[in-house]
Amino acid sequence: MNRRNIINIFATMVLGLVLLPASVDAQQKTLKEQLVGVWTLVSFDAFDSSGTKVPNIEGDDLKGLLIFTDAGRMSVQIIAEIPKLASNDRLKTTPTEEKAVAHAVLSYFGTYAVSEPDKTISYLIERSTFPNQVTGAEAKRAVTLTGDELKLDNPGRTAGGRTVIVWRRAKAAQ
């Protein structure tokens, strides 16, 4: 082996040792640290107690936003496309418009806690457009985090059955 090969091997080893702590540190982030940030909706599926898929939100072009702060706060908005209100005033609606809005929106906020060993997250919902979610009890979800995709599986859906919501980490605004 000539001197140049020995120097190249040595330089590669030193570079690898320098980069090792950074990669180990990235792998050691807690689940909570990985969840913090803004997520956009990929899919939202609901199933009744027999496992049959059921509607959870009515309307087309479902969009959603999930925010986890490092201080333990969370906010969820899931909204389908809603027709414009005839009156142009959100406080002057028809019964049909009220039903369309109520069936097309799910929004709630509160606090959250992560169980690292169980890979679960528990919400304590403070307010919701579905008031039956505000119970004072923690709402637990199983967490599957793969890269920039987050799957939250709620086996205790308020209406019975379960929901599975998939989110993608939001990219920075351009």
Q: Do 88 and 15 reside in the same domain of the chain?
A: no
Q: What is the pTM of this model?
A: 0.80
Write out the H or E segment, with its range, that includes residue 103. Answer: helix 95-104
Domain limits for position 123: 36-169
Inter-CA distances, 63 with 20, 22, 98, 130, 163, Å:
39, 36, 19, 17, 16
- Specify whether the CB–CB gap between 156 and 142 falls below 8 A: no
Q: Do 22 and 40 reside in the same domain of the chain?
A: no
Q: What is the pLDDT along the chain (174 residues), one digit of tens a residue?
A: 665 555 555 545 444 544 445 445 556 899 999 999 999 999 999 999 999 999 989 999 999 999 999 999 999 999 999 999 999 999 999 999 999 999 999 999 999 999 999 999 999 999 999 999 998 889 999 999 999 999 999 998 888 899 999 999 998 876
Q: Do 160 and 112 reside in the same domain of the chain?
A: yes
Burial 37-50 (b: 16+ CB within 10 A, else e): ebbebeebebbeee
